[in-house]
Structure formats: structure tokens, C-alpha cells
Amino acid sequence: MKVGVITFPGSLDEGDARRAVRLAGGQAVELWHADRDLHGVDAVIIPGGFSYGDYLRCGAIAALAPVMQSVIDRAKDGMPVLGICNGFQVLCESGLLPGALVRNDHQKFICREQKLRVESTRTAWSSGFSEGAEITIPLKNGEGSFQAHDETIAELEGEGRVVFRYVDGNPNGSRNDIAGISNAAGNVVGLMPHPEHAVEAGYGPDSPSGIRTGTDGLIIFQSLMGVLR
Amino acid sequence: MGRIIVEVMPKPEILDPQGKAIAGALSHQGFTEFTDVRQGKRFELTVEGDVTDEALEAARKAAEGVLSNPVIEDVVGIYAEDK
């Protein structure tokens, strides 16, 4: 299974995302933001970082990049797309997901291990979890506060499209403690914390089995493999 | 050369932590008159010749489609700058 990982100027976590894909059993394909060609991939990951258009709004100019036109077209046909952190911002700005991400309510960049509850297993990227499971993956952002109109929030909640929710404290003022959402079809997911940093023992968050042993993030990439198979 | 100004502000209901921080800095400097600060953006769009109605219309479309995000921001002004 070929999973494309897009690099924008300012992307930081594309290497980690490709590694996560490989650890989950997929083939990682490098995609460049200025190239429209998706090189025959079965799914796309938009990794985290600081997109080059952040001075307008986070993700705004990245959303207009040539590769995103192709991603938008394929996503509407059902191709799985995951946006992590800046990638979540890009998905919102590109119209694939509703709402917007704004500066953290406390104005500070935050970096910590974050507990999340899996609220929906009906997406391409969360099917491998059991509903209500609590997972821990790293969070690191300055503009991670999810905002949307009241009607949009009601729609997301009513349709079960809140996929991940912050547990044990809201790190950024996000509405309804929302950490990740999906589109109506469930193939497009945006998530603020970073599952690609919790895929291999020795390099992940602390877990009950020991320090740095957390690999909860890997299940997100394994979920995709289950869907593509 | 003509110039069109586009002004964008965060929506009133969206928390503006930057504005809050600036308000705090102002009051620390003794500017106690201001009860609130909100920070927005100003764009200057330059056109060949005078600003025409067509150019203003294009600026309106650009303001709503690119320069602002209607989920979190309002376009509060689009006008030709007086020379």
C-alpha cells in the first residue's frame, strides 16, 4: 500500500510520518507541494511543521499549493487523507474539514504528552481502536485551538465526527475539547497531536510499561492499512 | 498607481489572545484608558492606474476567498486609498 507524505517548505515531521507508515507495513512515498502528481498513492498524509503561508493564516497558503488540488479531488472520491497539526490546519483551510485552528488561548507554544479519548472508530484512521479507548501521544503546537460556528460544532458532535478528544485538561482552548475531527465520509481526518511520534518503543511517550515505550500512535497508521487491504 | 486597502479583523466571538497580551502591555506602560485591544490585518493591493469598480470587485473576492477565513475573521473594510 502506497501512502504519500507531502513536504511543504516548513514541514518538519515528514520523516517521522514516513517512518510511521513503514512501521505499520505500508510503503511511504515522498510528495512535493509544488507537484500536482500524487504518484499513484492510495492515501495521503499531510505532516506537521510550520507551513510557509502561516503569516496569512496557519495553513492558508499551503492549502492553495498545486498538490492540494489533487488531494482535494481524490479525497472527494474517498481517498484516505490524514492531516496532523499543521496538516490539520491545511485541511481546514482547503475546505476538506470544517472550522479553523487559531492561536492557543494562553498564547504559549505547548509541547507535552497528551491523553486523548478515541470518540469514533468509524474513520479510515481510527478503525483499529476500540471506542472510548484512551491513548497518549505527543502534542506540540502554538495554534491548535479548534474553532467553528455553533452549528458546525453541533453537526460534528451529532454526526459522531469528533474522532479524538482531549482528556485531563484542554491544552489550547479548543471548543468542546476537540483534538481531531473527520469529514462526513470518514476518509479525511485532522488531528492536532502527533501520532507519528508514538510508533516505536524507545522513542515514544512514557507508558505503563516503562519510559518512552508508548506506541499508541501506530494504531492510527495500522487502521489505514486495515482499510486499504 | 492606485491602491486598495483590505482590513480584516478576528470575529468578535473568537478569542484574540494577541490583542489581550497587547492590552496588558499597554496598561503596564500606563495607558489605562483602553479596556480592550484586538489585533487585525491590513492588506495593501496595488493596481495599474486608478482604482476601478472592477478592481474593487476583484479585491472583494480576494478578501473573502483568500485574505480572510470567514470561520474566524470578518472583512471590515475594502476601499480605495485616497492619495
Q: What is the ipTM of this complex?
A: 0.89
Evaluate whether A3 touches A43 at the Cβ level (below 8 Å).
yes
What are B's interface residues with A at a Cβ cutoff of 8 A?
10, 14-15, 17-18, 20-21, 66-67, 69, 71-73
Residue B83 is predicted with a pLDDT of 64
Q: Show Cβ contacts of residue B83 under 8 Å, excluding neighbours closer than 6 positions.
A: none
Interface touch A100/B69, C-beta < 8 Å: yes
Q: A92 contacts in B (CB within 8 Å)?
A: 71
Give alpha helix (H) positions in A27-98.
Answer: 66-76, 86-93
Q: A106 contacts in B (CB within 8 Å)?
A: 17
Interface touch B67/A56, C-beta < 8 Å: yes
Residue B18 in 3-state DSSP? Answer: helix
Nearest to A148 by CA among A113, A187, A190: A190
Distance, in Å, from the CA atom of A20 to the CA atom of A24, rounded to the nearest integer, reads 6
The lowest-confidence range among A45-49, A87-91, A133-137, A205-209 is A205-209
Give A69-91 pLDDT, tens digit per residue. Answer: 999 999 999 999 999 999 999 99
Nearest to A174 by CA among A126, A111, A104: A104
- Scan for cell 483551510, then name that residue: A93
In residues, how long is chain B?
83
In whole numbers, what is the pLDDT of chain A averaged over residues?
Answer: 96
- Kindly report the pTM of this predicted structure: 0.95
Residue A229 is predicted with a pLDDT of 75
Residue B82 is predicted with a pLDDT of 77
Query: Rounded mean pLDDT of A89-101?
Result: 97
